[in-house]
Amino acid sequence: MSILTRHFEDFIKKYPNSTLEPQAGGTAVVGLSGVRLPAGWNRAEVGVKFVVPGGYPQAAPDCFWTEPALALAHGGAPQNTGQASAPGIPPEWLWFSWHPSTWQPNSDNLFTYLNVIRRRLGEAR
């Protein structure tokens, strides 16, 4: 059993609505629906996906995507977003160029990267 499989088994216990979709080349896509958003966004919750690199956990997940049409409450585009494709990510999803500031492969995991995502989405800017 791979370390990603073990980490995802722990992850799905806390987030039963999550999915793990293996991709060609050894990557995988983690998806979650219903991620809550604070005030400042145009919706109350959103689906999120991120790519787990083939070298995980030595290589950290990097960037994430949200369901299309996520915007700031006033209608503007969030900072550090755009369109970028990745295997397993629908092309219309919104790409967030957002990276962990540190990553320790012996202690960081899928929960760590979800916290990076939640912190970014907690800042409606």
The closest alpha carbon to 71, from 37, 116, 114, belongs to 37
pLDDT tens-place string over residues 8-64: 999 999 999 999 999 999 999 999 999 999 999 999 999 999 999 999 999 999 999
Number of domains observed in the structure of the chain:
1
Helical H runs in the chain? 3-14, 110-121
Q: How confident is the model at residue 1 (pLDDT cuts 50, 70, 90)?
A: confident
8-state DSSP, 26: G
Burial-class residue 35 by CB neighbours within 10 Å (0-12, 13-18, 19+).
Answer: middle
Q: Is the pLDDT of residue 116 over 80?
A: yes
Domain encompassing residue 71: 3-121
